[in-house]
């Protein structure tokens, strides 16, 4: 193998694919990045067997070939090489020479025949959605998945694809996030549970644009094709929780609250709550005021925020972290919080929204 390529292109490609390389494994080959030179391009691939990222860059291929480089070293070394011209050449001992200006480095590589094959999705079902919508859907729900290895299905995001919309759902047993986005076209109604970590990496590679991205689903795999970049992920196997049964159908009260005031008030109240490691903040809503209060051995904090209340007064307590994490992803002036009573879950939606996005939170039982 011998190629010449642009240093900035190589650095960018390595930084993207290395996110899929395994960092904790007994199989050393999975820590590597596969390089394949053919047909006027260099293809870089990394995988941890759950997520795979492939990226092609233009290269002057003098001799075709392939090898597997140590991922961590190659990634750190190449990102410091932004020269216009980088020459990569492989000798008979499977050592890669990296030549730049008048300098060079030599890297012992691994056998490409030992590298796992990336799943090819042939006659797969697919749907298309704008890049900005898919990115927004992932960002608004993926943070709500469980971190508990004992409940692997809850570490994934459910994608339900209908005739004209894709619905994403994530939950961890204490909260639930749901987001709906329009699809431009679909070949079939389908569903899949995608590891949240993989979806987050996919969203990082998506531009905030109206260009379409095609998502293919076949049996236990999903492929996102971005042209010169392809991301393949294994799907989680099993039944997702019937989330529709969890979402209340009616409420006794709704509170419209200014998002910025609510967020800053919560952040101050949670300072004391965090000292007790329970993040417990009490919400008391009556007479057009929402009072947030937290207590600990070192003191107490009370925040008062003007609100619009429709329905009954409410006194309820929450792990406030679930609210502060949510508010990072809501871009609006006001939010609406819907309540049933002090022991039932509440639902949060942006004011004036068409129910594109909703968030459900279970309360914490108050002692008094």
Tell me the mean pLDDT in the region 87-114. Answer: 94
Assigned token pair, 181: 């986005």
Answer with the residue of higher pLDDT: 49 or 300. 49
Q: How many CA atoms lie within 13 A of 307 on its CB side?
A: 31
Query: Residue 115: is its pLDDT beyond 90?
Result: yes
**What band does 274 get if pLDDT is binned at 50, 70 and 90?**
low
Asked whether the predicted pLDDT for residue 79 surpasses 90, the reply is no
Secondary structure string (H, E, C) spanning 261-324:
HHHHHHHHHHHHHHHCCCCEEEEEEECCEEEEEEEECCEEEEEEEECEEEECCEEEEEECHHHH
With a cut of 70, say whether residue 275 has pLDDT above it.
no
Using alpha carbons, list the distances in angstroms from residue 291 to 247, 257, 272, 274, 286: 26, 11, 15, 18, 9
DSSP lists the bridge partners of residue 214 as 128, 225
Give the pLDDT mean for 330-357: 90
What is the residue-averaged pLDDT of the chain?
93
- What is the model's pLDDT at position 317? 95
Render pLDDT for 123-164 as a digit per residue (tens, 0 to 9).
Answer: 789 999 999 999 999 999 999 999 888 899 999 999 999 999
Burial of 92 (0-12, 13-18, 19+ CB in 10 A): exposed
How far apart are the C-alpha atoms of 168 and 145, rounded to whole Å? Answer: 12
Question: Residue 40 corresponds to which tokens in the numbers above?
Answer: 């006027």
Overall size of the chain counted in residues: 368
Report whether pLDDT(284) > 70. Answer: yes
Cα distance between residue 287 and residue 103, in whole Å: 74
pLDDT mean over 316-338: 93
**Under 8 Å between Cβ of 327 and 320:** no
Q: How far apart are CA 162 and CA 191, in angstroms?
A: 9
Residue 83: pLDDT above 80?
no
355 sits in the region (left: phi over 0; alpha: psi -120 to 50; else beta) called left
- How much is the pLDDT for 123? 78
What pLDDT shows up at residue 56? Answer: 97
pLDDT at 145: 96
Q: Is the pLDDT of residue 204 over 60?
A: yes
Q: Where residue 219 falls among pLDDT bands split at 50, 70, 90? A: confident
């Amino acid at each position: 193998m011998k190629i010449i390529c642009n240093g900035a292109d190589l650095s960018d490609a390595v930084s993207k694919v290395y996110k899929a390389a395994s960092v904790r494994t007994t199989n050393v080959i999975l820590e590597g990045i596969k390089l394949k030179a053919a047909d006027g391009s260099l293809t870089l691939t990394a995988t941890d067997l759950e997520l795979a990222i492939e990226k092609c860059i233009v290269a002057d291929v003098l001799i075709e070939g392939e090898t597997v480089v140590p991922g961590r070293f190659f990634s750190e070394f190449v990102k410091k090489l932004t020269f216009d011209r980088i020459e990569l050449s492989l000798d008979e001992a499977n050592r890669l020479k990296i030549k730049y200006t008048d300098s060079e480095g030599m890297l012992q590589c691994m056998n490409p025949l030992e590298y796992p094959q990336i799943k090819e999705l042939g006659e797969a079902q697919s749907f298309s959605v704008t890049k900005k919508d898919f990115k927004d859907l992932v960002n608004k729900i993926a943070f709500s998945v469980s971190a508990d290895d004992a409940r692997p299905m809850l570490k994934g995001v459910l994608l339900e694809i209908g005739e004209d919309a894709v619905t994403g759902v994530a939950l961890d047993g204490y909260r639930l996030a749901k987001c709906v986005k329009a699809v431009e076209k679909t070949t079939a109604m389908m569903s899949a549970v995608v590891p949240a970590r993989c979806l987050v990496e996919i969203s990082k590679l998506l531009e905030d644009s109206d260009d379409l991205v095609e998502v293919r689903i076949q049996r236990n795999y999903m492929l996102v094709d971005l042209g010169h970049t392809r991301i393949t992920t294994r799907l989680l196997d099993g039944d997702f929780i019937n989330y529709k049964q969890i979402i209340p159908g009616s409420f006794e009260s709704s509170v419209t609250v200014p998002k910025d005031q609510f967020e800053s008030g919560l952040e101050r109240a949670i300072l004391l709550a965090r000292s007790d490691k329970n993040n417990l903040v009490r919400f008391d809503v009556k007479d057009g005021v929402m009072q947030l209060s937290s207590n600990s051995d070192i003191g107490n904090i009370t925040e008062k925020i003007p609100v619009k209340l429709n329905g009954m007064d409410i006194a309820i307590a929450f792990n406030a972290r679930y609210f502060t994490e949510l508010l990072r992803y809501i871009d609006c002036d006001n939010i609406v919080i819907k309540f049933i009573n002090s022991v039932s879950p509440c639902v949060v939606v942006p004011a004036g929204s068409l129910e594109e996005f909703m968030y459900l939170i279970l309360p914490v039982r108050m002692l008094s």
